[in-house]
Amino acid sequence: MTNYTLLVLAALVAAAQILKPSPSCTDRCLLTVLAGVAAIGAAGLLFNLELSIRKRRDRLQKIRAQFSAAFNQAWGTKGHDIVTWVLIVTVLVAAAVACWLIYRILP
């Protein structure tokens, strides 16, 4: 999901390059809104996936409570990772950079 969003943002910046000779305020606003929609949509989807993963982890924790301590120690569960949050921040920062480039590229 993140890769596709970054490609969409890059395409919007490329579209800004194509419009370079005679940009209008409407073009800038439309490209910026599209970048925002893409970023918010991707961040929302990633957040929903994280919630779904948390539900499954909680269910597994309840099931693992029924197993022996030796099994749980061998299983070696790790704490919650922050990969999803890194991806969400990456998408939002990339959208901000894309918007900045859209306004910076267009005179």
Q: Domain range holding 45?
A: 1-65
In a domain, 7, yes or no: yes
What backbone phi and psi angles, to 5 degrees, belong to 46? -60, -40
- 4-40 pLDDT, tens digit per residue, is 999 999 999 998 888 877 768 888 899 999 999 999 9
What backbone phi and psi angles, to 5 degrees, belong to 39? -70, -45
In a domain, 85, yes or no: no
In a domain, 81, yes or no: no
Q: What is the largest CA-CA distance in the chain?
A: 70
In a domain, 21, yes or no: yes
In a domain, 60, yes or no: yes
**Geometric angle at alpha carbon 37, from 56 and 82, rounded to 5°:** 35
Q: What is the pTM of this model?
A: 0.78
Radius of gyration of the chain (CA): 21
- Whole-number Å distance between alpha carbons of 16 and 79: 43
- Whole-number Å distance between alpha carbons of 62 and 23: 58
| Better pLDDT: 106 or 58 | 58
